[in-house]
Chains A and B, each alone.
Chain A
């Protein structure tokens, strides 16, 4: 059985059909990329999985759990973490605090314990910190540990957001355009990281990306979307060679 299975998902905003009868499944341990022109419904598909949007129709299954039974804040508890297209970090907090919020789903202490900061809270805090330090080591964020997000450059914020998602130790990582706005070197780094996230941490990655170099470099399978519907699915090379995909990007008669 697939880790994430989406069947016949449909979402309309008024008269606009953002996602139209879309079905795909992500296998455990793979990197699955969604590509498509602007407005194809890629981010909308992500927001459906995160339960920010309520679908008109369709089934969403994650590891045997029906996602539609969950509220948006319960999705993280299942082990799904995500990043956002336009970075959504906690600006007036340090990098460390941001990463620690990623540990929220692993918290065990209650309000009363936290008010008195009992030894158990202290132990838990140290445990969270250890997990976060692993992420910091992995992403080379050591110089920024105690820096405020508000003062960090865009490229670093992008990495911090990836780190926050990783800190929650997810099973499925949703990356919404991980390389947008990054320089060539930073994109290269991102590519190694995604590779390592899959191989070392064993986390399944589902990503939306425009950079075809990155997509063909890391992903096992690619889904091409246009106007909210599936255009093609297969290995990166297959999808890139698909005439329908070329037509959607460049227009008919371009080849």
Chain B
């Protein structure tokens, strides 16, 4: 077990608790940057996909894991980000401005939607946000003049100061772009967590009554969480558009919303790691399943609903046996090794929680 000897408050504020952790994440970063030289184009594309899902996961994690507000409407915000980015670029706005602007626009729309929607709690909020996913489809069809409707749109090639990036012909450049966005989003997320707003998010999640008593404005804090969450989701949406190469009203469906929520639950709610672990599962599972299916029943046979069935099964198993997700399991394994041989079986057992003042909600 590592002992942190802290001599200054800055030790608790900095990004990494010690040199060891710093070196691990540092080498992870080096590996990430070296990846295009290590992998072939197909796998690099898959890793890019994982990172894009992870960005979307970070977006939803901020809202659901950190602030405790479930949303099944985030596919709509992926769509808003994607269309906003593409339309802005078609209007002649350079990518370097259009891309951040697309996220900010999505965030602002998110705040406007949040004002009425976030008055609802728990399951009612989830149901209300489903409506967003359903609506997004119709709105895209109705605004055909802008969105291209059912026939969809093709994002133009990205140019940053004359430097061209395209997903198919130069996958490593696109990978670097996604990687940089991922790092920026992760840093934003981490910075928020160690500052007053991040703590206000957790306060709203755990007890609205006492958050209010401590001076946290509930509606405003939830609105900020929704806006920031939508902003990050919007960026993920824009990148998804480039990754897919084409998109229409059916690309960002309710299924995507559900997959996103499932992803962060499987990964581990309330942690940055969870978004990444979940993204790995969501991005690789369909591939793994199809390879497995080809080997077991042959490639000629189609099994409809196999993917969704397996996803659902995995989700149920996680909720039953590992509610803290893959990250929770990872923590347990790590603690076991760090404390060896002193780890106890019940160390992570949930303590009973004491009665809460439900009346004051």
Contact = CB atoms under 8 A, between A and B. Distances in A.
A240 B212 CA distance: 35
Given A111-B224, A168-B215, A100 B202 contact: no
Interface in A70-110: 71-77, 81-82, 84-93, 96-97, 100-105, 107, 109
Contact of A164 (B200, B212, B214, B357): B214
A75 B210 CA distance: 12
A164 B360 CA distance: 19
Contact of A86 (B10, B199, B200, B356): B356
A103 B9 contact: no
B201 to A, nearest CB: 10
A168 B355 CA distance: 24
Contacts of B353: 91, 150
B206 A72 contact: no
Given A74-B215, A76-B215, A103 B206 contact: no
A50 interface: yes
A160 to B, nearest CB: 11
Nearest to B349: A151
A85 B356 CA distance: 9
B198 to A, nearest CB: 8
B12 interface: yes
Contacts of B216: 73, 101, 104
A235 interface: no
B170 to A, nearest CB: 31
A91 B206 contact: yes
Interface of A: 47, 50, 52, 71-77, 81-82, 84-93, 96-97, 100-105, 107, 109, 111, 114-117, 121-122, 125-126, 128-130, 133, 150-152, 154, 157, 164, 168
Nearest to B269: A92
B351 A151 contact: yes
Contact of A101 (B194, B203, B354): B203
Given A101-B199, A117-B194, A87 B213 contact: no
Interface centre among B194, B200, B350, B355 (most CB of A within 10 A): B194
A85 B357 contact: yes
13 contacts: A52-B209, A76-B213, A81-B214, A84-B209, A90-B205, A90-B211, A91-B207, A92-B270, A93-B203, A93-B206, A97-B199, A101-B216, A111-B228
A255 B213 CA distance: 42
B141 interface: no
A90 B203 contact: yes
A126 B213 contact: no
Given A90-B203, A93-B199, 8 more contacts: A52-B212, A52-B360, A86-B354, A111-B224, A114-B196, A122-B10, A126-B9, A130-B9
A97 B13 CA distance: 12
A48 to B, nearest CB: 12
Interface of A is mostly: helix
Query: In the complex, which range does the number of interface residues on chain B fall in?
Result: 35 or more
Contacts of B9: 125-126, 129-130, 133
A59 B270 CA distance: 43
Contacts of B202: 90, 92-93, 97, 101
A226 to B, nearest CB: 21
Contacts of A157: 354
Contacts of B199: 93, 97, 100-101, 104
Interface in B146-172: none
B214 A105 contact: yes
Contacts of B224: 111
A73 B218 contact: yes
Nearest to B195: A114
B186 interface: no
The CB with the most chain B CB atoms within 10 A, among A88, A92, A122, is that of A88
Nearest to B219: A73
Contacts of A84: 209-210, 213, 357
Nearest to B210: A88
Instruction: List 8 A-B pairs, minimum CB-CB distance, nearest first.
Output: A76-B215, A88-B210, A90-B206, A114-B195, A105-B215, A117-B191, A107-B196, A129-B9
A37 B206 CA distance: 31
A75 B197 contact: no
A81 B214 CA distance: 7
Given A125-B13, A150-B350, A168 B206 contact: no
A126 B12 CA distance: 10
Nearest to B358: A86
Contacts of A121: 191, 195
Contact of A88 (B10, B188, B209): B209
Nearest to A174: B213
Among the interface residues B13, B210, B217, B360, which one has the most CB atoms of the partner chain A within 10 A? B210
